[in-house]
Amino acid sequence: FASTEYTMHIDRRECAYCLTINTTICAGYCMTRDSNRKTFVSSHARFLDVCTYGDFIYKTVEIPGCPHQVAPYFSYPVAVSCKCGKCDT
C-alpha cells in the first residue's frame, strides 16, 4: 500500500470553468485472511483490512468564473500517509 497520484475534475454547474486537481490518495492491497468458516467468529474477525488514510490534510482551491452568489471554494483531502486498517465510514 502507498500513496499514489490522482487527478480529479471539479465542475460546478454555476461556474464558468472546470478545474483539474492533482492530489494523492491511498491505494494498494493489504494482506488479509478470510477464515471462510461457518462457525461463530468475533465481530473483529469479520472485517478485512483495507488501504486507508493514516494521516491526511485538506487543501482548498478556488474555482474561477463563479457568480457572486456561488461559493467558489472546493476542499479535498491529500494523503500524507497510508496504512492497512478498518475503513472509517
The residues spanned by each domain of the chain are: 2-32+46-85
**11 vs 86, residue with greater confidence:** 11
| CATH of the structural domain 2-32+46-85, one choice from 2.10.90.10, 2.60.120.340, 2.40.30.170, 3.40.1010.10 | 2.10.90.10
Convert the pLDDT of each residue in 38-66 to its tens digit.
Answer: 555 555 555 678 888 999 999 999 999 99
Tell me the average pLDDT of the chain.
Answer: 85
Q: Does the structure show a pLDDT above 80 at 33?
A: no
Q: Does the structure show a pLDDT above 80 at 70?
A: yes
Output the pLDDT for position 57.
96
Alpha-carbon torsion 56, 61, 66, 72, what sign? positive
Alpha-carbon torsion 64, 70, 71, 74, what sign? negative
Q: Does the structure show a pLDDT above 70 at 75?
A: yes
